[in-house]
């Protein structure tokens, strides 16, 4: 990296010290049609885990095979924390198996309700400071589909207390979400092997 | 994820079976001015580790603090493999401390030579099938600066044998590199907290 990459463009006139500013919670969005939105979020979570932060991952879209690799690694890291004290504790919750706190796996599928309840759970956790680093994976889809109230999400994020970092992923992030975020990256596909008729493969896609 | 995301757009007329095509090595480039290029590469490596692949990470630019989180996690995963057999083995090499194979830390700094020797080492490893998954982190910079021969890189990548996946990161990926890659993603900055005068912070930037 070129020198000075960590230097801010200018010192803001916000009345905060550098230290206070450094402790501000990050609200990040990874959006766009390209690869790497979730992968980069999990990479950030890995770094946060290493700093001893309490990690909470919430997958908002059913994905039976997808991300099983990340899940296994994070469960491993969580166990490592529990047994050796290294890193931070990890919780991983996903739709499709029933949100684990709701204990209703096997009930009639209702994705909209699941997503809504998932968000209410995340909201409660933000109020209780349950985690230090939240990944809301593929969160933009239930927002776009109207399953989760965008106004509630934005006001909850804007008004949360403490230094709880939140990273959200998914295509077509709503403008309102981008407004409330302070770190927004768009992943754009330039080339993809599936364009050449190749299927997803082990170790690359999952 | 929407259904069918893993389906290719069309079946190619390349004489390969789906299984053969599935085993093709991936050549990926994460470029663009936004965040997440390296982070997504390490996220992919995490997934590959979980599949038992032999991971080799090569950092091509000095970065004293940067990525220390990822490095610690990957060293932890590598140790976990060595002691329990879970996942794959991990090697992590970086410039600035002297490429560990060259044993010349402390010698007069010569970044160009270091980068060149680093590439020759990676090339040798590709010939020997040393790893299954290579991260060449911030590799585009020494290419752009002419420290590493782009023609040699492209022909080495194009002619490598086996199923060795290679993921390269860095801004301004040369067109020639994009041509030889089959998965290219551009990360674009939409918003960044440093624009608001915030500095990098623990658990987010490192």
What is the domain extent for residue B128? Answer: 22-186
Chain A CA closest to residue B166? A204
User: Contacts of residue B204 in chain A, CB cutoff 8 Å?
Assistant: 26, 44, 47-48, 165
pLDDT, greater one: B23 or A100: B23
Among A108-122, B9-23, B187-201, the range of highest mean pLDDT: A108-122
Q: Which pLDDT does position A137 carry in this prediction?
A: 95
Instruction: Provide CB contacts within 8 A for B28, sequence distance 6+.
Output: B41, B44, B165, B166, B167, B168, B181, B182, B183, B184, B185
Task: Give me the torsion for CA of A58, A63, A69, A71, rounded to 10°.
Answer: 20
* Structural domain contains residue A133: yes
* Structural domain contains residue A88: yes
* Structural domain contains residue A181: yes
* Structural domain contains residue A26: no
Distance between CA A15 and CA A115 in Å, rounded?
A: 39
- pLDDT above 50 (res B3): no
Per the DSSP assignment, residues forming a β-bridge with B137 are: B59
CB A21 within 8 A of CB B206: no
pLDDT tens track for B36-59:
999 999 999 999 999 999 999 999
pLDDT tens track for B94-143:
875 555 444 454 444 577 888 898 999 999 999 999 999 999 999 999 99
Q: Which pLDDT does position B7 carry in this prediction?
A: 52
Distance between CA B192 and CA B194 in Å, rounded?
A: 5
Provide the phi-psi class of B168: left if phi over 0, else alpha when psi is between -120 and 50, else beta: beta
Least CB-CB distance to A47: which of B6, B197, B203?
B203
DSSP string, A77-134: HHHHHHHH--S--EEEEETTS--TTT--TTSPP-HHHHHHHHHHHHHHHHHHT--SEE
* Structural domain contains residue A113: yes
| ipTM, 2 dp | 0.75
DSSP string, A135-164: EEETTHHHHHTTSS-HHHHHHHHHH--SS-
Q: How many domains does chain A have?
A: 1
User: Contacts of residue A10 in chain B, CB cutoff 8 Å?
Assistant: 197
Task: Please report the sign of the dihedral spanned by the C-alpha atoms of residue A67, residue A68, residue A73, residue A77.
Answer: positive
Instruction: Provide CB contacts within 8 A for B184, sequence distance 6+.
Output: A189, A190, A191, A192, B28, B29, B31, B173, B178
Is there a contact between A30 and B53 if contact means CB atoms under 8 Å apart? no
Q: Which pLDDT does position A199 carry in this prediction?
A: 63
What does the block give as tokens for B203? 């658990």
* Percentage of chain B lying above the pLDDT 70 cut: 73
Is there a contact between A43 and B47 if contact means CB atoms under 8 Å apart? no
Q: Which pLDDT does position B56 carry in this prediction?
A: 97
Least CB-CB distance to B18: which of A44, A80, A199?
A199
Tokens 């021969």 label which residue? B149
What does the block give as tokens for B130? 């040393």
Q: Which pLDDT does position A105 carry in this prediction?
A: 47
| A55-59 and A90-94 beta bridge pairing | parallel
* Structural domain contains residue A164: yes
Is there a contact between B14 and A197 if contact means CB atoms under 8 Å apart? yes
* Structural domain contains residue B193: no
Q: Which pLDDT does position A113 carry in this prediction?
A: 85
Mean pLDDT by 10 residues, chain A (206 residues): 47 60 82 92 94 95 71 94 96 71 49 88 97 96 93 97 95 95 91 66 67
CATH of the domain at A87: 3.40.50.300
Is there a contact between B47 and A206 if contact means CB atoms under 8 Å apart? yes
Distance between CA A37 and CA A40 in Å, rounded?
A: 6
Query: Looking at the complex, does the CB of residue B72 fall below 8 Å from at least one CB of chain A?
Result: yes
User: Contacts of residue A186 in chain B, CB cutoff 8 Å?
Assistant: 34, 187-188, 190
Task: Tally DSSP H helices, then E strands, for chain A.
Answer: 7, 6
CB A66 within 8 A of CB A200: no
Sheet with A133-137: strands ordered across: A90-94, A55-59, A133-137, A165-169, A27-31, A183-191, B183-191, B27-31, B165-169, B133-137, B55-59, B90-94
Task: Please report the sign of the dihedral spanned by the C-alpha atoms of residue A57, residue A59, residue A65, residue A66.
Answer: negative
* Structural domain contains residue A172: yes
Per the DSSP assignment, residues forming a β-bridge with B94 are: B59
Give chain B's mean pLDDT.
83
| Exposed / middle / buried, residue B180 (Cβ in 10 Å: 0-12, 13-18, 19+) | middle
- pLDDT above 80 (res B86): yes
pLDDT, greater one: A54 or B197: A54
């Amino acid at each position: 990296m070129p020198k000075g990459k960590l230097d801010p463009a200018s010192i803001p006139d916000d009345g905060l010290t550098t230290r206070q500013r450094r402790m501000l919670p990050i609200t990040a969005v990874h959006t766009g049609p390209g690869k790497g939105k979730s992968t980069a979020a999990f990479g950030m979570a890995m770094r946060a885990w290493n700093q001893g932060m309490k990690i909470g991952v919430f997958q908002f879209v059913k994905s039976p095979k997808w991300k099983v690799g990340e899940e296994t690694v994070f469960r491993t890291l969580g166990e490592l924390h529990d047994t050796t004290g290294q890193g931070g504790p990890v919780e991983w919750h996903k739709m499709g198996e029933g949100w684990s706190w709701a204990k209703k796996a096997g009930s009639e599928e209702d994705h909209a309700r699941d997503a809504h309840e998932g968000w209410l759970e995340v909201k409660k956790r933000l109020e209780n400071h349950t985690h230090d680093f939240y990944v809301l994976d593929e969160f933009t889809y239930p927002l776009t589909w109207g399953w989760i109230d965008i106004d509630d999400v934005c006001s909850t994020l804007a008004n949360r207390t403490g230094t709880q970092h939140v990273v959200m992923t998914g295509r077509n992030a709503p403008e309102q979400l981008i407004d409330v975020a302070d770190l927004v990256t768009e992943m754009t596909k330039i080339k993809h092997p599936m364009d050449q008729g190749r299927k997803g493969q082990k170790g690359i896609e999952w």
